[in-house]
Structure 1
Amino acid sequence: MEFKISNRAKLVTLSLIVVGALFTLIGAFTMEEHGLQRFLASSLTNSFFFFAIGLLALFFLALQYATETAWYVSVKRMIEAVAGYLPYGILFLIITLGVITLYDGAHIYIWMDPEYTNPSSHHYDAIIDGKSAYLNKGFFWIRTVAYLATYYLFYLGFRKRSLEEDRVGGTAIHFKNYKKGATFLVFFAVFSSTQTWDWIMSIDVHWFSTLFGWYVFAGMWCSAMVVIILVTLYLKRLGYLPRVNDSHIHDIGKWIFATSFLWSYMWFSQFMLIWYANMPEEVTYYIARIEDYKLMYFGMFIVNFAFPMLILMSRDAKRNAGILSFVGLIILAGHWMDVYLMVTVGSMGPTSHFGLLELGMPLLILGFFIRVILLNLSKAPLTPVNHPYLDESIHHEI
């Protein structure tokens, strides 16, 4: 069944883009202080958040290939559509990181400012200088290009073979995807942590956590699963996907439930170990967030942990479109807030505040994000026609 974007969907996405752009411009031109720093912090928050959703959808697709899962085939095109945002997410992220680099870190990555590694400067920082073999502009961009090129090439390969499989059938493409999926997971096992160190953790350059990469990975995985279920439920509501049954919905709901708990476990483990040890060089990360953003910081954790735990615990809740949509939207907002706190507090500290810029930019990119997903859905049949596990997926029951 072919999907066509409705006029209403076009109007909604265009409205989000226009309103978001208007708010962003007003916010950018009315800022009284820290203008560039605040703009780039907001840009990094949103470009990374939506990029990561596309990336984790690609990860989830590769995971299904590598484990030769059958149930997901009926929702495979939804996963591919979300992953299809990745090329645009890469572009936005490169632009943001490029501008930050051009301005010597723009007080976001202060380790990019040569004043902090120059022993004759009064800004000299021995800790930053000690990390300069890894944290320097050249090596930073070598790693960034390696990450993004790898993701882009794997996405192109998976998408090309998926569409080719619709035409030729057989099992050869399936087994090639199986091998490529396993290979991608090997790269991603390393890159998922190191990219987070580079793009997010290095904002708080004096601080580090060995759990941080996994913590961010868990939050973005949960966000990607939420977007996948929202897209699937949207198509079901429009009368598409007749072969997607309650069991498929239930399985995606279980992934949301599981990844929410994984994220919560990582959050608590990181917080408990650092806070209990009470070492000044470690607790500064949490002091900055608890002293000035206590309600937002702990509220974000409660939302991202309590809502899925209390509401998605039962089997029936994970099959209910209304409940899944309601909880999913709240979780998505909660994980956006998580990224906002990681980036903004680390770069701006107590001087940050939420205004039109912080409201407009996510609306702008959200509208574009949704439009790209809908365009991807319209470019291929919503159900793969020649996948070897299609029949098993159609008859999936739990």
Structure 2
Amino acid sequence: MAHDVQHYNLDQKFDFTAATKKSVFTVLIIGAALLVIGILMAIFGGHHEEAAEAGGHAFHWYERLYANLWINNVYFTGIAIIGVFFFAVQYAAQAGWSAPISRVMLSFGNWLPYAGILMIVTFFVANHDLFHWTHAYLFDTNSPEYDKIIDGKGAFFYWPMAKGSFPAFYILRMVLFFGFWVFFFNKFKKISAQEDQLGGTSHWFKMRSWSAYFIIFFAVSSSISAWDWVMSIDTHWFSTLFGWYVFSSWFVSGLSAITLLVIFLKSRGYLEMVNENHVHDLGKFVFGFTIFWTYLWFSQFLLIYYANIPEESVYFIERLSSDVYGPYIFVNLAMNFFLPFLILMTRDAKRHGIFLKLVCTLIIAGHWVDFFLMVQPGTLGHNGGIGFMEIGMFLVYGSAVTLVVLGGLAKGNLIPKNHPMLEESYHHHI
């Protein structure tokens, strides 16, 4: 380590102070209160007796609760796994600029074990209320409700069991994905800790190999999980672009969360090595992938629009022509494309914390709206919307994730002090 980096405190640890915990818990309590108000309003609101259009069954308040659980599970799982993915990308690409903030990225993976448990439990509790394909009568050729299209897709969920019984293949994928994601996250953490103690370049090379394996696994698992957890809600509909689309939504939200955490740590006097050049790079990533998400949104929409095939276009017609969801399509585009694009267009905006804090907060809320639009129309029909329950659940999840991520970050060194590229990062200038 050359003398340049030496005058920094490389043994710095994040101190998760009582004051910070109190702030996060305050948000958690406010969220919980709004959630309870939302649930009570749904129970006593009266419209739950209305027969829903889909299948004509009476709508129950807990269906909305389950849909919210699912939206937040999928959304925050994405942010957590993107932290690990972005960390792995730095090593696979042999990037030097990001060395001092790599631990910040990795810390998001601390949420993954909780996410996995929540996901599996929610599925077992809520499967019939969220996923139409879980009903056994759809696969029974003698039933008046028999559905040839869903029956054709049955093996993807139920193999090797009988269709309509227990979705063994589906659950196996969910367990495998979370299992491997947590395995890779722990592996990265372990190699990082060894590098801190022993130094040298061998751990960097080891991390690079493991990162390459992880990226390959992530490429496959992120796409399939998008089909499983989101696209299978609208079982008749499919889009060959959907895995990419969900990934881009996850990625830009994850990048925004990483950027916010870096700015927060900087404001508390940590990460002295990180200067406006590093922040600028994060800003460019957020800006670039905002456009990437929009490109995929538009590609999916345009192809379906001009082909005008009924089984494809139903997805957008359901949303655009709905009084409940129609306006949110435009909110989605404004929050996730127009505003970030206009605010972050200049070089200066990407280098200043205040603009980035604004845009990243906007994007984190905006991409939640994106997932809301993917999940609610197919599960709740016209009984959805954004109310106290949605806002409350989002705040509860957001603050829980924050507690877990910051708690994990406080356990180890903030800066990988023996990272062979710290010197390069110190001289990083753009």
User: Which range, TM-score by smaller chain?
Assistant: over 0.9
1-side partners of 2:256 and 2:269: how far apart? 20
Aligned to 1:98: 124
Letter of the 1:4 partner, please give it. D
Three-state SS of the structure 2 residue aligned to 1:79 is helix
Aligned to 1:283: 313
How far apart are 1:360 and its partner, in Å?
1.1
How far apart are 1:142 and its partner, in Å?
1.2
Question: Is 2:112–2:178's contact at 8 Å kept on the other side of the alignment?
Answer: no
Task: Return the match for 1:121 from 128, 131, 143.
Answer: 143
Aligned to 1:51: 77
How far apart are 1:203 and its partner, in Å?
0.2
2-side partners of 1:115 and 1:80: how far apart? 44
Letter of the 1:20 partner, please give it. G
Point out 4+ residue stretches in structure 1 off by more than 3 angstroms.
none
Aligned to 2:65: 39
Unaligned runs of 5+ in 2: 1-11, 49-59, 159-166
1-side partners of 2:424 and 2:36: how far apart? 51
Aligned to 1:244: 274
Find out whether 1:377 has 2:377 as its counterpart. no
Aligned to 1:16: 27
2-side partners of 1:189 and 1:57: how far apart? 14
Aligned to 2:398: 366
Letter of the 1:318 partner, please give it. K
Three-state SS of the structure 1 residue aligned to 2:19 is helix
Aligned to 1:112: 134
Letter of the 1:113 partner, please give it. H
- 1:371-391: CA deviation from partner (whole Å, max 9, x where unpaired): 112112211121111111111
Q: Normalising to structure 2: TM-score of the pair?
A: 0.89
2-side partners of 1:357 and 1:316: how far apart? 38
Rg larger in 1 or in 2?
2
Aligned to 2:179: 149
2-side partners of 1:216 and 1:2: how far apart? 34
Aligned to 1:257: 287
Three-state SS of the structure 2 residue aligned to 1:71 is coil
Q: Could you tell which deviates more after superposition, 5-14 or 283-292? A: 5-14
1-side partners of 2:91 and 2:120: how far apart? 29
2-side partners of 1:95 and 1:376: how far apart? 23
Unaligned runs of 5+ in 1: none
Three-state SS of the structure 2 residue aligned to 1:176 is helix
Letter of the 1:46 partner, please give it. N
How far apart are 1:2 and its partner, in Å?
1.7
Letter of the 1:5 partner, please give it. F
Find out whether 1:303 has 2:335 as its counterpart. yes
How far apart are 1:48 and its partner, in Å?
1.0
**What RMSD, in angstroms, separates the aligned Cα atoms of the two structures?**
1.2
How far apart are 1:354 and its partner, in Å?
2.5
Number of equivalenced pairs: 394
Find out whether 1:271 has 2:301 as its counterpart. yes
Aligned to 2:388: 356
Percent of residue pairs identical: 40
How far apart are 1:30 and its partner, in Å?
3.8
Aligned to 2:257: 227
Aligned to 1:6: 17
Q: Could you tell which deviates more after superposition, 362-371 or 316-325? A: 362-371
